[in-house]
Structure 1
Amino acid sequence: MTRPYHHGDLREALLAAAETILETEGLPALTLRAAARAVGVSHAAPANHFGDMTGLLSELAAVGYQRFGAALATAMDAAGPDPRLRFQAMGRAYVGFARAHPGLFVLMFRSERLDASRPALRAAIDASREALRQAISARSTAPAGPLQMAAQAAAYWSLVHGFAVLLLDGRLNGMIKALPGPADADDLLEAMLTTVTLAG
């Protein structure tokens, strides 16, 4: 039995259902039919809002990027004006988002499954990149040309993104288990961010 929806509600309900499936069952389980079934509507309903599976995934990724960018910006604002503290806060927020929303995080960087030309996704990606750019540019301690700035941005992004991916994949488990005392993944992240901050 289908549930009645007011205009505009069904799209958000389908996105919420799709996210739940993604996080609990994984990307292979997420289909238009599965999202429709979870909401209790006809199998054709998602196509009316997203067109096809690429459309649904792209709009879901846009939701992820919106939250991601907001999380980074909020963390940096809370850290205050010190560029080093803002960079550390960004790193914590970046990895924290990945740990809280692993399925969504992986989807966001699966470009082969997404349509980056969709306005919502393009705008969300641009906004999150701007938050990253602010953290990285503020972190710079010396004037640099475009190539040096790009290299620095790539280095810092690779650092936090690589840590997040390795953590989600379980590749850091051995290293974490070998840490002294009660130290855990959070302690390893803090030490890494501190080391990079001091070296910068």
Structure 2
Amino acid sequence: MPEDKAAPAPRYHHGDLRNALLEAGRVLLEEGGPTALSIREIARRVGVSAPAAYHHFSGLDDIAVALAERGFAELAERMRVAPRNARGQLAPTGMAYIGFARDNPGLYRLMFGEGFHTAFAADDRIRSLRSAAYGVLKSGLSKRLPPEEIGTAALFLWSLTHGLALLMIDGQFDPGADADALIAAVLRLSGKGLPTSGNDHAQ
């Protein structure tokens, strides 16, 4: 009796192969993290040969950078549209940041270089997109702090949200806990440690 063989990958039919390859890479990221990325497997899932992928990407590092670009753009947009009042509330931005990481753990890890530190360190696009996301965090502080304090406060907030995000996606919290309530409580507490105008607090 012949042994079962894996079902063939669906054949590629539409015109945007680059986007299809990135979408397949993103699925792989969420299935197995950055180490799961493979040009051969990405191409197989799209239904093309590996050489066909090289018409759009110079190699796996190039695919990883393109995926990270998408991730940072989505992260910045999610923070940008988070609700804030005229006083510049901080907690909704932090919730949006951590929510993105929780929704896209594999992509989030990749964005900060997991498995691709050398490629990302040398890429100006990644540095620019990280700066753009950092700028969204800083923008919420402009209504609360004097200009000379914004940089330090933004770094504090980024460190806090990045750390919370990693703890969440690593499963380091009680699985029975209300994650959203816990994140909100930590972010409120962090706001009390920042200089404020009047009675303003991060909520």
Structure 2 counterpart of 1:124, from 122, 129, 135: 129
Could you tell me which residue of structure 2 aligns to residue 65 of structure 1?
72
Could you tell me which residue of structure 2 aligns to residue 180 of structure 1?
none
Give per-residue Cα distances to partners, 1:154-180, cap 9 Å, x unaligned: 21111111111111112223xx75xxx
Seq. identity, %: 34
Structure 2 counterpart of 1:133, from 128, 131, 138: 138
- Structure 1's consecutive aligned runs of 4 or more residues displaced over 6 angstroms after TM superposition are none
Q: Is the 1:55–1:115 contact (alpha carbons within 8 Å) kept by the matching residues of 2?
A: no
**Structure (1 or 2) with the larger CA radius of gyration:** 2
Give the secondary-structure state (helix, strand or coil) at the position aligned to 1:48: coil
Aligned partner of 1:48: which letter? H
Give the Cα separation in 1 of the matches to 2:76 and 2:154: 16
Give the Cα separation in 2 of the matches to 1:102 and 1:116: 20
Give per-residue Cα distances to partners, 1:172-192, cap 9 Å, x unaligned: 23xx75xxxxx5111111111
Could you tell me which residue of structure 1 aligns to residue 13 of structure 2?
4
Q: Is the 1:57–1:113 contact (alpha carbons within 8 Å) kept by the matching residues of 2?
A: no
Aligned partner of 2:14: which letter? Y
Give the Cα separation in 2 of the matches to 1:197 and 1:26: 32
Structure 2 counterpart of 1:89, from 80, 87, 92: 92
Could you tell me which residue of structure 1 aligns to residue 31 of structure 2?
24
Task: Calculate the aligned-residue CA RMSD, in Å.
Answer: 2.2
Structure 1 counterpart of 2:52, from 45, 70, 77: 45
| 1:23/1:113 CA distance change after superposition, 3 Å | farther
Give the Cα separation in 1 of the matches to 2:154 and 2:97: 15
Deviation of the 1:50 alpha carbon: 1.5
Give per-residue Cα distances to partners, 1:11-57, cap 9 Å, x unaligned: 00000000001101222221111110010001112222110111000
TM-score, length basis structure 2: 0.80
Give the Cα separation in 2 of the matches to 1:156 and 1:135: 11
Q: How many residues align?
A: 183
Could you tell me which residue of structure 2 aligns to residue 15 of structure 1?
22
Give the Cα separation in 2 of the matches to 1:34 and 1:117: 26
Aligned partner of 2:157: which letter? Y
Give per-residue Cα distances to partners, 1:58-101, cap 9 Å, x unaligned: 000000001000000011xx323221x2x111110011000000
Give the Cα separation in 2 of the matches to 1:59 and 1:88: 29
Give the Cα separation in 1 of the matches to 2:57 and 2:141: 35
TM-score, length basis structure 1: 0.81
| Consecutive unaligned residues in structure 1, runs of 5 or more | 178-182
More helix by share: 1
Q: Matches of residues 107-122 of structure 1 in structure 2 within 5 Å?
A: 107-110=110-113, 112=117, 114-115=119-120, 118=123, 120-122=125-127
